[in-house]
Chain A
């Protein structure tokens, strides 16, 4: 193998599994250390810079970071990264003086944001400090988009959402709420320098052709619409017997909301086996904790009404059958099940919907009737129109929408300065030695061996009685500290300098996980087989040195490195050093301000 190019920030970035997995690349270990140090405001601001909504995400994030967490490979459970974020948000004091200053002198560029969800708000957050004037359109009465209408208050208190939305709106965004935008042409005619479409995936999937659909219509609801009605308090109760169709996170929110609005026999019914449900495991757990049963392998067959009122649903019981290619089909077993109910909530998917974008104004649409959006610039075929969040490629999650927002803001800024949007700015990173003394490091190498902490919950009865009562209490300070100390500090990199190595093998001997090897060079495939412990995790890179004096190379399997620093401590010549790699993704205007 060729020697690893550590000057490429991507190499060390990949070692920080959590940050790499995060769509907006939040420097996770950095803020976790700040939490352990009790520096909650600093921890919060690191989050705010990257993901804009730390309080919201600390409660509701899809947490792609956690399955990626190295601790999950070393031990069993990853660090509770998401809930640690909440610790920072909960314990911070007033941080408003740390928010970026908004220039009084505007730059003369005007932007329209359609939809006030996380993607649009992120664009506003990134562009307001650069002097842009921004008009924010939304059909709801408040900002937040789906974060407000679809995430129930018992998971995300309104206060938390208001605070973080207002940090952005208070920058001087002109809000045009309660305004349904029905024509993109009209918006374009207002001569904005750029328009960002962040309208989400607002149309809940229906079962229009299922027998009995129209007859039972009064008691058959689209999940996301129903959740929005609950959030805005248009709906305050539901029947005693409720069937929730679907196995995603919306279904989980629907069923848990239903038991809070008077549902007594609330059931989740999914077509597939439980193991194939799309909802995050912890959201399924939360629903099961509230004693909501999940019926698997039930395929809806008909809505049954009597005297014009919905009384139940008929299901085909199916079983999953896999063909030779592993493709699954749900084959009816012949058994039918009738479930009596008063209401049905359908949470079986969401669709994008752009009836308000005229097809003849220059925005190209693809075969799926979605606008053609560039994957890296978020630009459409109409140069001043950008699309991000769920509106771009269908339903994802808040953190992805934020990541889209950052990238779209970069593009909009470039577009407004007549620069090539395809030239993307490089991330801002540095690599700093953590050495203080013989056995002293700037980071705490003594990680906790304890298992993952469990977030304490409000008593179940109390929780179900109050729709707005937050179920999770969050970690208190000491639990937060304990959990933070489980972090392996993967951002503190083992950096090897070939010229200094005398090949004494001290690092190889001391390494608790035997990831360091001094062996003859070979192809990557062969090297992976020849290491002391075979490098079977192909997602993790091998760190290969230059050729050493003995013609061998140092090969380190990054997979389960504990970042404990013992290799550097046992190195007599300083060939190893522990260096903190801190990377912030590029944001709008960053490269311009440094010019």
Chain B
């Protein structure tokens, strides 16, 4: 029986700037089906946090219910975690973020958890621009209850059961754009070259960062006619550009032919380099992004990569003007300034 991963790691694998090895970012051994796309996303999260030299104990991973929401067990074993109620990940994250804004909030959800039961929560957390990373592991079906079509299953897509989906699907990226998310991206679990820099960018982004990751369900939704299967997605991906994440103050210089690439600078100084491929639009324009998603969709393709980026909006804390100190670190003295201050305040209102 192998439910245990050996403890040995590659002896030549580097440690990051904190002196941690990749093992310090791993979690328990996955119990998802063999070949599940979610495991690849977990691996990309592990790699991103390792590369960004994040301290695991300064990350909170929060999830709802579903196969996707099980994954936080399988990465960042040393981080904080809250496996919450179905569809309620955004509320729990909001609460945690209000109490301690110093942590990195990594919300993990699925298409059921987000596009069905949690749709209301999803809408409002975006509207508030909560500073978090919101990753949807999108497989177009309810894997945990044996693969019924979910709200993101495209019309006509055929899962293992063999019956085409009757209803129009919800495009979560379009919703996120519509509701005002500052960073919107779509990727594919089978393309870590694209996914990992996107996760890094989402982590560095201040405000709400949304990544819709198409993640095939090998057990129930990986037929050749399924638009969320490995084969179909590979054949129909259309990237906005090849992407490289350049951490802040990095000395790495990439050479692109002039005019063929563009830079997206994040608030901490790190950069995303996008190598253009044919189609070109203004990444900071919501309208252009919406347009592009629709245009590509009309060609029976899926737009992936960084779709929209705009970091000018204030996040929730900025909007409600909280103090610099995280609220959970405020002491009794700061919260209750005493009767003198109270009477002065009362005097003003007399």
Contacts and interface: CB of A to CB of B under 8 A. Distances in A.
A562 B190 contact: no
A558 to B, nearest CB: 13
B10 A515 contact: yes
Contacts of A506: 34-36, 39-40
B40 A445 contact: no
B2 A502 contact: no
Contacts of B216: 504
Top 8 A-B pairs ranked by shortest CB distance?
Answer: A572-B35, A509-B43, A504-B35, A513-B10, A572-B34, A572-B218, A506-B35, A505-B40
A75 B13 contact: no
Mostly helix, strand, loop or mixed at chain B's interface? loop
A194 B33 CA distance: 64
13 contacts: A502-B218, A504-B189, A504-B230, A509-B43, A510-B30, A533-B13, A560-B8, A560-B10, A562-B6, A565-B2, A569-B34, A570-B34, A571-B35
Given A509-B42, A515-B10, A573-B35, A504 B190 contact: yes
Contacts of B42: 509
A445 B36 CA distance: 23
A566 interface: yes
Interface in B1-27: 1-13, 22
B8 A510 contact: no
Contacts of B11: 73-74, 560
B34 A505 contact: no
B5 A512 contact: yes
B37 interface: yes
A447 B40 contact: no
Interface of B: 1-13, 22, 29-30, 33-37, 39-40, 42-43, 189-190, 192, 216, 218-219, 222, 230-231, 234
A106 interface: no
Contacts of A564: 2, 5-6
Interface string A61-92: 00000000000011100000000000000000
Contact of A562 (B8, B34, B35): B8
B10 A503 contact: no
B8 A74 contact: yes
B306 to A, nearest CB: 21
Nearest to B192: A505
A504 B10 contact: no
B103 to A, nearest CB: 26
A319 B5 CA distance: 51
Interface of A: 73-75, 439-441, 445-447, 449, 502-506, 508-510, 512-515, 533-534, 536, 549-550, 560, 562, 564-566, 569-573
Contacts of A449: 6-8
A441 B4 CA distance: 14
A446 B33 CA distance: 21
B99 to A, nearest CB: 33
A434 B103 CA distance: 46
B5 A504 contact: no
Contact of A566 (B2, B10, B33, B222): B2
A510 B39 contact: yes
B16 to A, nearest CB: 14
Contact of A440 (B1, B4, B10, B219): B1
A550 B234 contact: yes
A510 B4 CA distance: 11
A487 B327 CA distance: 54
A502 B35 CA distance: 9
Contacts of B36: 504, 506
A440 B231 CA distance: 30
A564 B192 CA distance: 24
Contact of A447 (B6, B29, B33): B6
A509 B45 CA distance: 11
A504 B234 contact: no
A319 to B, nearest CB: 35
A572 B229 CA distance: 14
B40 A533 contact: no
B34 A514 contact: no
Given A503-B234, A572-B33, 20 more contacts: A439-B1, A446-B4, A449-B8, A503-B230, A504-B35, A504-B40, A505-B189, A509-B43, A510-B39, A512-B5, A513-B8, A513-B13, A533-B12, A536-B12, A550-B234, A560-B11, A562-B8, A564-B5, A569-B34, A572-B218
Nearest to A535: B12
B5 A566 contact: yes
A590 B22 CA distance: 50
B13 to A, nearest CB: 5
A439 B237 CA distance: 34
Nearest to A572: B35
A504 B4 contact: no
A253 B36 CA distance: 60
B8 A75 contact: yes
Nearest to B1: A439
Contacts of B40: 504-506, 509
B45 to A, nearest CB: 11
A513 B7 CA distance: 10
A441 B1 CA distance: 7
Nearest to A573: B35
Contacts of A570: 30, 34-35, 39
Max chain A Cβ within 10 angstroms of own Cβ: one of B192, B230, B231: B230
Nearest to B234: A550
Contacts of A440: 1
A127 B229 CA distance: 62
Contacts of A75: 8
A74 B34 CA distance: 26
B60 to A, nearest CB: 23
A424 to B, nearest CB: 37
